[in-house]
Structure 1
């Protein structure tokens, strides 16, 4: 199922270039498929983005839910407007590159992000339309070849991510440099929506952080989970607290009551029974990844205190 988003004003398209309802998404896997039928790309730690270009300077940016995002990323609109690569739809990520690796926290839209930031980049990895032609049915290798030909030189802030053919070597590279992970793609695969396929797989390194516990969430009056802050942002809450720790935490929250450190809370958090702490303390957490909204996915408590 696809949707058409009409265009008005500058950059109207003769061909509406129908966008997918949701972009094609890789399936999480602990294994790296190998063989001549597979290619591999770095998993950039950014925000998934579709870009529609009219070939004459018109740029439309969409989120992975296909919601307009030009207002959220004006620096990317400005970056892509000079491109003259024909009417096309690019699939990629908007990332923040800190000089050594992508930084997901810095790319998130929020009160701490500058309106214009020259460290924001756009990395393309697939091509859905080429000169207005829908090429999603074509094999990924051909779509990628067409995409790469549009960007013969890699610019610092807009480029096509490399396609390599040694998955284990790429995995070793990203681990050594503490990047997020890799995507394995079947070279003959068409572009299909969401995860309705067995063509793309992602393997990512585990997220391990030391977060501040700034609140204790209660359920039926008893300690249930810990509210976490990381890089001055709310990143979720974690449970898995043993009985002995719950007793200590119950006493601690009575001794150190405080106020909520966040300017805003989600509707769910507003309804929760949380005792905020005047004295935060560190805990170690692991998770699958950060969501696009900056929340830890499937967090697990490793222990209290910072790593030594």
Structure 2
């Protein structure tokens, strides 16, 4: 089967963030796996191509997933899913395990499938999600520890409660009669994620026109962004603190935007409590809010 007969989308279909879980017989629900979104194109003869959500090649990044899929003889197809690291309790988006650079090779990654775009040269993207899922489940009827089709549930609220109780990431709501629509230009897939609440280390102070603007954050030894929301009293205290404790950047590399920023790095780090909607796929906090200083009750 030629690659031309297995066309890739320009971008995968993406769920839209929503605080609500839609209800009704036209909706079904899947676990939101905390991993790396991945398209897998199989030629039916052992050839495997992995692509990121930006449809960039990823075979070199995840050779163990290529090895996992290569022995399959299920015909040519395009699978949509996530590469996941399971820490024994829950999916865990660890950059050391799932990052695209300097990641040690191992056998602790899973490929979790939730959709299929092409089956033996037949483009399924205009089919309903129900039909695509049923064909995917029929193609992979057996679950192995590292390769399986994620389950489909009909009670979103019960699934949400199960996930929150176990501190899993969240759920995806999918309209059963929906086609596969590239990107987020639809109202057919929604994601609801548990709130991220962490204790991060303040390692630098971002300045604007010489005045304290925001706090540069580190979590699990990596940069996760910066948070503002400081009152005048805190800014005054921080300005004195940074003058008394000048230090060096703790990160091996910085983004282009951070390199252009005026940052006073600190020799003495201190904790702060932060909440956010989520961690983005690049490992940064989305819409972080400062809750206060000190460790408090720890991670929540």
Query: Is 1:129 the counterpart of 2:121 in the alignment?
Result: no
Partner residue of 1:222 out of 207, 211, 215? 211
Partner residue of 2:189 out of 200, 205, 220? 200
**Contact between 2:272 and 2:293, CA under 8 Å: does it hold in 1?**
yes
Aligned match of 2:62:
73
Aligned match of 2:103:
113
Aligned match of 2:274:
285
Structure 1 position 261, deviation (Å): 0.5
Corresponding residue pairs, total:
296
1:1-308 to 2 correspondence within 5 Å? 13=2, 15-106=4-95, 107-109=97-99, 113-114=103-104, 116-308=105-297
SS of 1:246 mapped into structure 2: helix
**Contact between 1:45 and 1:103, CA under 8 Å: does it hold in 2?**
yes
Structure 1 position 14, deviation (Å): 6.0
Q: Alpha carbons of 1:14 and 1:229: their partners in 2 closer, same or farther (altered >3 Å)?
A: closer
In the alignment, the residues of structure 1 paired with residue 159 and residue 66 of structure 2 have an alpha-carbon distance, to the nearest angstrom, of 31
In the alignment, the residues of structure 1 paired with residue 146 and residue 180 of structure 2 have an alpha-carbon distance, to the nearest angstrom, of 25
In the alignment, the residues of structure 2 paired with residue 271 and residue 14 of structure 1 have an alpha-carbon distance, to the nearest angstrom, of 42
Q: Alpha carbons of 1:239 and 1:17: their partners in 2 closer, same or farther (altered >3 Å)?
A: same
- Shifted more, 62-71 versus 104-113: the winner is 104-113
**Contact between 1:108 and 1:294, CA under 8 Å: does it hold in 2?**
no
Q: TM-score, normalised by structure 1?
A: 0.94
Q: TM-score, normalised by structure 2?
A: 0.96
Structure 1 position 137, deviation (Å): 0.7
In the alignment, the residues of structure 1 paired with residue 229 and residue 290 of structure 2 have an alpha-carbon distance, to the nearest angstrom, of 6
Structure 1 position 112, deviation (Å): 5.6
Structure 1 position 111, deviation (Å): 5.3
- What 5-or-longer segments of structure 2 have no aligned partner? none
Structure 1 position 50, deviation (Å): 0.7
**Contact between 2:84 and 2:98, CA under 8 Å: does it hold in 1?**
no
Q: Could you say what the CA RMSD is over the residues aligned between the two structures, in angstroms?
A: 1.2
- What 5-or-longer segments of structure 1 have no aligned partner? 1-11
